[in-house]
Amino acid sequence: MTEVSNANFGLFIAYVLPGFVSLLAVGYLVPGVWTWLLASPGAGAGGPTVASFLYLSLSSVGAGLTASTVRWVVMDWLHHHTGVPRPNWDDARLQEKLGAFEALVENHYRYYQFYGNSCVALAFLFAARRVGGGVALIGFDGFDGVIVGIFVIFWAGSRDTLRRYYTRATVLLGDRKEANHDKRACESGCGGGRQKGRRKKGRGREYQGR
């Protein structure tokens, strides 16, 4: 895996980190996954190899993308219907504002993806511990408390970052409904002005005839 830089940091936190948490959950269901996650350099034959590191990296990306899809289906819908409505941007301005829009994505939306995808991964981890981790279905231990606490914090963070992203992107691109309204108002006003000009011109001809 290449080094994390400013160019790929957003993708790393949006997909790889939540994907790794998802793999922790999978480890409760498929014990073989723990050989990738818990191997140490001093573990002899069981230590990490290039192949295991590659498998771990690719699996984290795949799990992160899966968590992102669940987040898009569930969390986005919940946010959009509980006080964070999705704006209707004027896409006609996107090309000229593309650089600034990409900066908004990296500085706001990637963090929303991290918080949202991590919430999905934590929920999966919470459930996997009950299915394959020997935790009682209605039981609740200290680790569950940590999971729930982080989930609540990340849920709040996801709402804040999504709201900031929507607000600032709307300022940048404008709202399509407002743009269409302004266009119709302009056309109506210009049309009225032309009609008024024709009336004045007609009256001037009448005066000249008199």
Tens-digit pLDDT profile for residues 49-80: 777 778 888 999 999 999 999 999 999 999 99
Sign, CA torsion 140/144/149/154: negative
Burial class (CB in 10 A: 0-12, 13-18, 19+), 41: exposed
Percentage of the chain surpassing pLDDT 90?
Answer: 53
Residue 147 contacts residue 125 (beta carbons within 8 Å)? yes
Q: Tell me whether residue 195 is in a domain.
A: no
Q: Nearest CA to 116 among 148, 146, 161, 84?
A: 161
Q: Tell me whether residue 199 is in a domain.
A: no
Residue 195, pLDDT above cutoff 70: no
Beta bridge partners of 175: 89
Number of domains in the chain: 1
Task: Give 26-57 pLDDT, tens digit per residue.
Answer: 988 887 777 777 664 444 555 567 777 788 88
Dihedral angle computed from the Cα positions of residues 136, 137, 142 and 145, in that order, rounded to the nearest 10 degrees: 180
Report the amino acid identity of residue 44: G
Q: Tell me whether residue 84 is in a domain.
A: yes
